[in-house]
Structure 1
Amino acid sequence: MRDFPSCFGENAVQISDSSSSNGNKTAQNLVTCIYQCRFRGKSCLITVTWSKNLMGQGLSIGIDDSSNHCLCKVDIKPWLFSKRKGSKTLEVESSNIDIYWDFSSAKFGSGPEPLEGFYLAIVCDKQMILLLGDMRKEAFKKTNVKQCHSSAVFIAKKEHVYGKKVFYSKAQFSDNGPVHDLMIECDTIGTNDPCLIVRVDTKNVMQVKRLKWKFRGNNTLVIDGLNVEVFWDVHSWLFGTSPGSAVFMFRTSLSTEKNIWASQPICDPSVLHWSTSQRIRESQSHQFGFSLILYAWKQE
């Protein structure tokens, strides 16, 4: 365990999100995924947000160019009884972007993301920009695109998880690596000395004692031969006046050099701000791999 930053305080290792600052009542069951893709020969970021509410599942797609300018955004409304397959065409910079989806046979778990039996395809100029899901043959047949691998790279994911003292998620830290089960355990009720435990595939890989003093910090794990840096911020669990979320980040680095955040003051709250997409682009240029951000909401 690294020594906890001496400058820990109200702004140390701050990971923020608009939905996490308004209490548990405003937390939504949603998952946001960011992919680095190529659009007309240029790098772009495609954000796919899966949501789930009383009306059913929904989907939002946004495409930003390399200068952080929004090229387009489309919402596919939540469905319960409506048709679960369709397409939309958007005009962007004199080009058509076609979005195709088929969730008619999709299987869902407890979260908003479909697990199998679906495809989501984004096509431009007869080229597959992004293809998600296991129904690849059906997607290529529908889009009339020659079967080839898209150059899309999955670079970041943000997820809201819920529990009383145990929180679960999954992560694949490399493109061809295994999918790991993540478990975060922390009992903050009825104990004077809370302890934070992180397990990967049931194996205890990190333990933080004296959590009231170390409510924010970072540590480095080795998973699948990769350095995985873990950041945590559980201030709202321990000292919040209203129910809020703790925040965890798991981030891989493909470089043996120190990453760009490590060279900056740990007390700077903008260092880990999710909405700063420029940080994501900088991380890619510094050979970063994949980032997973979990907002953990305690339920009573």
Structure 2
Amino acid sequence: MRDFVPCLGHHAVRVAGSACSGSSISSERPPQSTVSCCYRAALSTHNELLNKVTWHKNNRDTSVLVVIEENPGAGVSDPRGTTCQLLMRKKGSQSFAIGNSEFALHWDISAATYGAGAEPTRDFYLVMMADKVFVLLLGDMWREFIKKFEDKVLVAASSMYSRREQVFGATLYSTKAQFHDGGKDHEIMVRCKGDETDAKDAELYVCVDRKRLLHVKRVMWNFRGNQTIFVDGSAIDVLWDVHDWWFRGSPSGATFMFRARSALASRPWSEEELAKRASQFTLLIQAFKSK
């Protein structure tokens, strides 16, 4: 399935966490999960800054990858200008330059608490500055961190415009998403009932805030499709593709996409809209079978 909302970038800083205790080591690929969030920040120079933060977690370790693209509207950056640095500390700072801009990345995931997914839930911060302006503020501890700065703190307007979650072995999966800036966090649950041995009776459910809004019967014949649901009065287009989950072996998977429809969009999944960096929030969930 094509990645409908790419978050491209050529400058990356990778932060590696420590191994998790009590995990058994297997010769097979360990169960893992990945969450990628794309953020857009408006700079005072009227340029746009796109940041992609990818949290990765498996049985042995956790890591986070930060990708930065400055002023994407000006054209595609030269990939030969890529910078990538592996930082072994779970707490630290890193300064670097991209073009004419100076960046500083500060993080502390040393005591981070994790839930079922790859993204930490509390007790951490990850912040980034571009030319002394904060362009990324993540975690529940960033406010305490920026109190250390004596000068007036400048914060750029920013928002998350896409989120991609990759999980292994899940037939029942739940997450949270905010479809509009400043809106409510909604609990989204996707459930696949049945398997390849009984695909004719397989069913697919999508619930938002524990209310079933989508029910696909006879998945054997309806393994791909799209439907519009309404959340808080706004249209959310839902696309699913579960063909490979039922009809192919491991590591095939299923794809679910949720996209807040623009008030100006007359139909879902418009090629014109998808060709751009989405102005409306998009959630992509990819579930893969474990070996």
Same fold at TM > 0.5:
yes
Q: Distance in 1 between matches of 2:120 and 2:145?
A: 16
**Which residue in the other structure is 1:267 paired with?**
none
Residues 77-226 of structure 1: pairs in structure 2 closer than 5 A:
77=87, 83-142=89-148, 146-189=152-195, 190-191=197-198, 192-226=200-234
**Which residue in the other structure is 2:287 paired with?**
296
Q: Distance in 2 between matches of 1:30 and 1:126?
A: 30
Q: Residue deviations 1:40-93, cap 9 Å, x none?
A: 43112111111113442111111123124267654554x6xxx42100011111
C-alpha displacement at 1:204, in angstroms? 0.9
Q: Distance in 2 between matches of 1:182 and 1:75?
A: 35
**Which residue in the other structure is 1:36 paired with?**
40
Change (3 A) 1:68 1:53: farther
Change (3 A) 1:123 1:109: same
The share of aligned pairs that are identical, in percent, is: 34
Change (3 A) 1:38 1:224: same
Q: Distance in 1 between matches of 2:266 and 2:130?
A: 37
TM-score (norm 2): 0.79
Tell me, which stretches of 5 or more residues in structure 2 are unaligned? 5-27
Letter in 1 for 2:240: W
C-alpha displacement at 1:254, in angstroms? 3.4
Tell me, which stretches of 5 or more residues in structure 1 are unaligned? 1-13, 18-23, 265-270, 273-278
Q: Helix, strand or coil for the counterpart of 1:138?
A: helix
**Which residue in the other structure is 2:247 paired with?**
239
The correspondence for 2:64, drawn from 39, 43, 59, is: 59
Change (3 A) 1:173 1:147: same
Q: Distance in 1 between matches of 2:287 and 2:112?
A: 26
Q: Is the 8 A contact 1:99 1:121 kept in 2?
A: yes
Q: Distance in 1 between matches of 2:166 and 2:48?
A: 28
Letter in 2 for 1:180: H
C-alpha displacement at 1:105, in angstroms? 3.3
**Which residue in the other structure is 2:265 paired with?**
257
Q: Distance in 1 between matches of 2:133 and 2:64?
A: 22
The answer to whether 1:48 aligns with 2:53 is yes
Q: Residue deviations 1:173-206, cap 9 Å, x none?
A: 1222222221111123253321111111221110
Q: Helix, strand or coil for the counterpart of 1:112?
A: coil
TM-score (norm 1): 0.76
Q: Is the 8 A contact 2:57 2:63 kept in 1?
A: yes
- Number of equivalences: 260
Q: Is the 8 A contact 2:115 2:121 kept in 1?
A: yes
